[in-house]
Structure 1
């Protein structure tokens, strides 16, 4: 299965988000996903299997439980593929960052001007 086929599913993306916070049991992941998506435990298990089989997660047994974790290798491959397209959005994001900084500076200066005026009036 291609990486974007795996990542195209919102349930699998959510599972990866949960696992990005750290290793978790299948049960803990299942509780969150079932609550958020209203799917059954077997459906969650199937998504975990797809993630494991496609290399996005690792699993290790710990007694009767299975602990899942993100395997970063496929994500690095996705990142490398996306790299050829970054030139389309990087300049726009840099311009946005500049405008946001300019707006913060203007608000700060305006607030300082207001507080200085209040100090002078006192």
Structure 2
């Protein structure tokens, strides 16, 4: 089951920082987030969920963002979640509305992200994030 997420984080300035940290707009994760047409991809991704029952899947930005982070650093599933938990730039990248100290999802969810995105073919990704 999937609920289309229409709230899109438009600018890093909107990212809530309760600890008072000022985010750097030139950070690579902020810049990468600006390159991706999140709303457009979210709509296409939502079409893959035909079943109206069951648990609601995580938003596209969270799923895809987490997988890009994992691929960038060759992290394990658990380490990916821990890095996202500890880093406000990564939390912004996956679309959280503000910094949170809790894990955004369980490490076992990464398997579902891979499965869902395998169905959702993405041709432009391969060269997009090469450093």
Give the structure-2-normalised TM-score. 0.32
The structure with the greater share of residues assigned to helix is: 1
Q: Which one scores higher on RCO, CA 8 angstroms, separation ≥ 6?
A: 2
Larger Rg: 1
The structure with the greater share of residues assigned to strand is: 1
Give the structure-1-normalised TM-score. 0.34
